[in-house]
Amino acid sequence: MSNEPIALSKALASFDALWSPRIVTRVNDYDVRVAKVEGEHIWHVHDDTDEFFLVLDGELYISLRESGGERTVRLPTGAAFTVPRGTEHKPSAPTGAAILLFEPTGTPSVGDRHAPIPDHVDATTGYALDL
């Protein structure tokens, strides 16, 4: 981790992989991650933690399976949303997006329970940022 300011635009420019988050910094026991996304992720659940999303560029959709049924939230650039722990969800970005995630260090990008993982989704706990 750097002890200097990190430009998120520079962090995002340092990699091309989709659905493959990079760890920008840590805050206590939490990772601050950035990712480039396009297309669909998978349905998954984080049993023990909420998942925070902030859209830096583009538009992200998060489909949720809740007790009242299924719904999808739309997050334009600048919007933030937290998926509550234990909620099955599937992010997607039909035209691409850059996002920031805030979650406990070691949290897998595909959750604790998930659908089969396609080749375009990276199952990771985040990669070190290589600036």
Q: For the segment 27-73, what is each residue's pLDDT rounded down to a tens digit? A: 999 999 999 999 999 999 999 999 999 999 999 999 999 999 999 99
Measure Cα distances from 51 to 61, 98, 122 in Å: 14, 16, 17
CATH architecture designation of domain 8-128? Sandwich (2.60)
Residues 77-125 have pLDDT tens digits of 999 999 999 999 999 999 999 999 999 999 999 999 898 999 999 999 9
pLDDT in tens, 10-30: 999 999 999 999 999 999 999
| Best CA proximity match to 56, nearest among 100, 103, 13, 5 | 100
Which of the pair, 118 or 2, is modelled with greater confidence? 118
Q: What is the pTM of this model?
A: 0.95
Residue boundaries of the structural domains of the chain: 8-128
